[in-house]
Amino acid sequence: MSSSQEPVFPEYETETSQTSKLVRKFKETPFVPIGMAGFAVVVGYGLYRLKHRGEMKMSLHLIHMRVAAQGFVVGAITCGVLYSMFREHIFKPKE
């Protein structure tokens, strides 16, 4: 492969920093970082509550924690899809 070959996706292969790529991706899909942050919060809270679970079995506590984390992520993805559909179909960009 020669270096004179044109890039396939020039908008993605420009020389930009990782921070600018991350900011651009967050602007395109704002609910993905919200879902990731919510997942981290639910897991952190579940681990904190692990010490004070009382008589609850460990497996039951972990199942509840997993369901809560998955529910938050699925909810964030659903909100993101609805947001995208609303933005593309209700507020169509002028062509």
pLDDT in tens, 18-36: 788 778 877 777 777 888 8
Q: Where are the domains of the chain?
A: 13-91
What per-residue confidence (pLDDT) applies to 67?
A: 92
Give 53-78 as a 3 state SS string. Answer: CCCCCHHHHHHHHHHHHHHHHHHHHH
Q: In degrees to the nearest 10, what's the CA dihedral of 12, 26, 18, 15?
A: 30
pTM: 0.60
Confidence band for 52, pLDDT divided at 50, 70 and 90? confident
Two tokens, residue 41: 């919060």
What per-residue confidence (pLDDT) applies to 90?
A: 82
